[in-house]
Amino acid sequence: MIGFVVVSHSATLADAAVDLALQMVHDEAPPVRVAAGAAGGFGTDAAAIAQAIDELADTDGVLIVTDLGSAVLSSSLALDLRESAVPVRISDGPFVEGLTAGIVRAVTGGTLDEVTAEARRALDAKRQDDVSETGADAAPAAAPVEVAPAVAVAEVTLVNEVGLHSRPAASVVKTVGRFDAAVTVTNATSGKGPVSASSLIGLLSLAAGKGDVLRIAGDGADAVAAVTAVHDLAADGFGEAA
């Protein structure tokens, strides 16, 4: 599994970001190390970051998630100070959203490149309905994915009050990760999608609320089982419906 090094100028901020991200995965969490604060104060320490990387030497790769720009500089220096040869990427995604999205993707067995990409595009779900002060549309949301002809298709109406928010989306990602299938989800009510069911950010970009109809499609050896599992998860309200 991919490991994470969280680099922040503030230990309190880093611990809070990690706690929030791990709420999405509970006991299936990937290994995470925090390198925050310098000499017990405010700042970053390249030597501490290097040590954190080395502690994750037995993982399939390490993603460093940073807060401010100077944390990136310290992380780059740490790559020269570390002793291990584990593959490392420094994320250019947002701190909180990127860490959360990356951890959820890592739990499903995502590669270092896949986890890095998911963290990078972690603001897409926020940008989709954004409008600038000049009235121009902001950057588009998560791009729809190309899909193969579906082996299995199902539709389900969201019944929980908040719809497909972060925790249910994370549960969908974890569910499809158990199957040998490529699963996509479309908000059939709004027409948004399809997006990969393996992407937390993609699912959030659907902006699917209570009463919206999701179209779930799957291709692959376990397509029927995967689509059925996601359908049943949503039909049950992700455990949130009264």
Residue 231 annotated among the catalytic residues of the structure: no
Angle at 199 between CA 3 and CA 86, to 5 degrees: 20
Per the residue annotation, which of 9, 26, 165, 231 is the catalytic one? 165
- 107 closest CA partner among 214, 227, 4, 17: 4
Cβ-in-10-Å burial (0-12, 13-18, 19+) of 19 comes to exposed
Q: Write the DSSP assignment of 65-80 as a string of letters.
A: EESSHHHHHHHHHHHH
- The answer to whether the CB of 188 falls within 8 A of the CB of 155 is yes
Token pair listed for 89: 């990427």
- The answer to whether the CB of 171 falls within 8 A of the CB of 108 is no
User: How many Cβ atoms from other residues are within 10 Å of residue 12's Cβ?
Assistant: 10
**What's the alpha-carbon Rg for the chain, to the nearest Å?**
19
DSSP state of 150: P
CA distance 64 to 68: 13
CA distance 71 to 83: 20
Catalytic residues: 165
